[in-house]
Structure 1
Amino acid sequence: MSPTDYGNLAYLGLLAAVLVVWMFIANRGGLGRKLQHLAAWGLIFLGVIAAVGLWGDIRQTVMPQQSVFAEEGRVELPRAPDGHYYVSLDLNGVPTRFVVDTGASGLVLTRHDAERAGLDVAALLYRGEASTANGVVRTAPVRLDEVALGPFTDRNVRAYVNEGAMKTSLLGMSYLQNFSRLEITNGQMVLER
Structure 2
Amino acid sequence: MSGDQIGNLIYLVLLGGVLVSWFFVQGRASLGKTMQQMAAWALIFVGVIAVFGLWSDIRGTVMPQQMVVGGEEGGIELPRAPDGHYYVTLQINGTPTRFVVDTGATSVVLTRSAAERAGIDVDSLHFLSAAMTANGKVQTAPVTLDTVELGPFADQRVAAYLNAGDMQNSLLGMTYLDRYSSLQISGGKMVLQR
Q: Tell me, in whole angstroms, the C-alpha distance in 2 between the residues paired with 1:60 and 1:112.
A: 28
2:173 aligned residue = 172
TM-score by length of 1: 0.70
Counterpart code for 1:156: R
Deviation at 1:71, TM superposition (A): 3.4
Q: Which residue of 2 aligns with 1:66?
A: 66
Partner Cα distance (1:174, 1:122) in 2: 25
Provide, for residues 37-69 of structure 1, a one-character-per-residue CA deviation record: whole Å limited to 9, x for no partner.
79x6xxx9xxxxxxxxxxxxx869941100113
Distance 2:35 2:99 in 1: 50
Q: Aligned ranges for residues 1-193 of structure 1 at < 5 Å?
A: 62-69=62-69, 70-193=71-194
Task: Encode CA deviations 1:68-120: one digit per residue, 9 max, x unaligned.
Answer: 13233311000000000000000000000000000000000000000000000
- Secondary structure (helix, strand or coil) at the match of 1:155 reads strand
Q: Offset of 1:34 from its aligned partner? A: 7.1
TM-score, with normalisation over the residues of structure 2? 0.70
Structure 2: gaps spanning 5 or more residues: 1-28, 45-57
- Give the drift of 1:151: 1.0
Question: Gapped runs of 5+ residues in structure 1?
Answer: 1-29, 45-57
Give percent identity, aligned residues only: 62
Letter of the 2:99 counterpart: F
Deviation at 1:192, TM superposition (A): 0.3
Segment drifting more, 60-69 vs 175-184: 60-69
Cα RMSD of the aligned pairs, angstroms, is: 2.5
DSSP-derived class of the 2:72 partner: coil
Displaced runs of 4 or more, over 6 A:
30-38, 58-61
Larger Cα-atom Rg: 2
Aligned length: 152
Q: Which amino acid aligns with 1:171?
A: L
Between the aligned partners of 1:133 and 1:192, the Cα distance in structure 2 is 29
Secondary structure at the aligned position of 2:127 is classed as coil
